[in-house]
Structure 1
Amino acid sequence: MGLRFINSSSDVFKARETPPTHYLLKIQSFNTLLRSSLEKYSSDKFEAGDYKWRLTIYPSGNKDRGGQGHISIFLTLADTSSLPVGWELHAIFNFFVYDQLRDKYFSLMDNQLRRFHAMKTEWGEVKFMELQVFGDASNGYLINDACVFGAEVFILKQTRKAECLLTFGKPNVGSYTWTVNRFSTFTLDCYESPRFVAGGHRWRILMYPHGRDDGKGNSVSMFLLVDESSLPTDTRLVVRCIIRMLDQNVSKADPFEFTGDNHFGASNLVWGAPKFMPLAMLSDPNQTYLVGDTCIIEADVTLFGTISTTF
């Protein structure tokens, strides 16, 4: 058999031969339960995804939620007192009913994806199945007054990240000019400019006179470094940066520059260009970027806003 019937409140049921993975509940005398004053039955705890759950059956429907004339079935997260403050989890779950004549388990076609948290520890189907359909022996769900329900629960591992962007009405702009003397005598890998303030944060220009990374041996590498101590906790800066090598021919005034946007934060303190300027261009006597063994470097920092990980 394939599709069996259409539930009056949900979608078409589907069949499978394998029983539910996590829990089975057999009721030996359903009609006795139906006639009793017991409005619902909650199962013993069972474990799925490292959490404890209960399966709750309303044999004559959850009347408070409009389930009259149906079987209502719910999944409840138990033992939440041991969970941390602000907990939440997302679970995909399915409810099953057993067709004893055809040896198949039926469930709704759409898996349930729900968010459980302190204010919502229970989800389910108010109108899981019509009592009239359930009680018809030819359907196989209730045979000799016995029936079987089941549940599967799968927890979605949460890898979600979130951020909050705050943009300023007016960007915060700062600049700094660094005059570098005796360039030809530089033998160290890296030289740092004096500290300067831009956008309310402390910065330095880093110069690698003989290049870094893929600029090693062929370029001057230039970077901007933000002082981590000037960053608020768990905050990144939305910044547009311009690094220039000024042309010292005043009449020409043609700077060599590199521009880019970057998010500066604790895990990304440095940004720049490994191949900022070819060494051959800098040392070319026909160019006027290096004059009298002196070059002038300028940095513009425009802060547009901040990104935090809290709302």
Structure 2
Amino acid sequence: MYLWSYMSSITRECLSSLNDIEPYKHERKISEFTKLKNEVCSEEFTVGDCKWKLSLYPNGNSGQNGQNISVFLESVDAEGFDCKKKGGVNCYSAAAQSWGWPSFMPLCELNDPKKGFLVDDCCIVQADVSVVGVVNCLT
């Protein structure tokens, strides 16, 4: 009896590899970048039957104290996932809806005119997104 109740609580999952994986390039142009104070989100885009968006924090997210910009890829529909959706080594689920870089680049480097990252106070962020497999719960 104990073994049966232990076995009944195991979650079974199936990883489906996707064929013909091509990265999707998503680009977001942000004007008047140095005037921004809050998070900037891209429009939603679809890759591998999942909806995504880019989030950029021009003064960093929590813990960056205005020293770095932060960039994250977020799964828009992760709240409805029964289990995990995986992309490479990054796992998206209802509990972990985003993955990215809290310290993507120091603000002093981004704002340095000699580096050329900002042109006419415009910043372009591009993400190459590939979904290589999907994990589904078996019933």
Q: Which interval holds the TM-score relative to the shorter structure?
A: 0.7 to 0.9
TM value normalised by structure 1: 0.41
TM alignment of 1:1-311, pairs within 5 A: 89-90=2-3, 116=4, 160-188=10-38, 190-228=39-77, 233-240=81-88, 261-310=89-138
Q: Is the 8 A contact 2:55 2:71 kept in 1?
A: yes
Range with bigger deviation, 268-277 or 168-177 = 168-177
- 4+ residue runs over 3 A deviation: 156-162
Query: How far apart are the structure 2 equivalents of 1:295 and 1:207?
Result: 11
Please list every run of 5 or more consecutive structure 2 residues that lacks an aligned counterpart in the other structure: none
TM value normalised by structure 2: 0.85
Secondary structure of the corresponding residue to residue 274 of structure 1 = strand
Query: How far apart are the structure 2 equivalents of 1:157 and 1:201?
Result: 31
Sequence identity of aligned pairs in percent?
Answer: 27
Q: Is the 8 A contact 1:172 1:302 kept in 2?
A: yes
Match for residue 107 of structure 1?
none
Query: How far apart are the structure 2 equivalents of 1:284 and 1:233?
Result: 42
Q: Give 1:160 shift.
A: 4.3
1:263-291 deviation line (CA, Å, top 9, x unaligned): 11222111111001110110111101111
Q: Is the 8 A contact 2:80 2:94 kept in 1?
A: no
Q: Is the 8 A contact 1:215 1:274 kept in 2?
A: yes
Query: How far apart are the structure 2 equivalents of 1:232 and 1:193?
Result: 21
1:23-80 deviation line (CA, Å, top 9, x unaligned): xxxxxxxxxxxxxxxxxxxxxxxxxxxxxxxxxxxxxxxxxxxxxxxxxxxxxx6xxx
Query: How far apart are the structure 2 equivalents of 1:202 and 1:309?
Result: 19
**Aligned-partner residue type, residue 221 of structure 1:** S
Q: Give 1:211 shift.
A: 0.5
1:59-115 deviation line (CA, Å, top 9, x unaligned): xxxxxxxxxxxxxxxxxx6xxxxxxxxxxx41xxxxxxxxxxxxxxxxxxxxxxxxx
| Count of residue pairs the alignment pairs up | 139
Give the structure with the higher percent strand. 1
Q: Which has the larger radius of gyration?
A: 1
Query: How far apart are the structure 1 equivalents of 2:30 and 2:124?
Result: 6
Q: Is the 8 A contact 1:238 1:305 kept in 2?
A: yes
State the Cα RMSD in Å: 2.5
Q: Is the 8 A contact 2:45 2:52 kept in 1?
A: yes
Secondary structure of the corresponding residue to residue 163 of structure 1 = strand
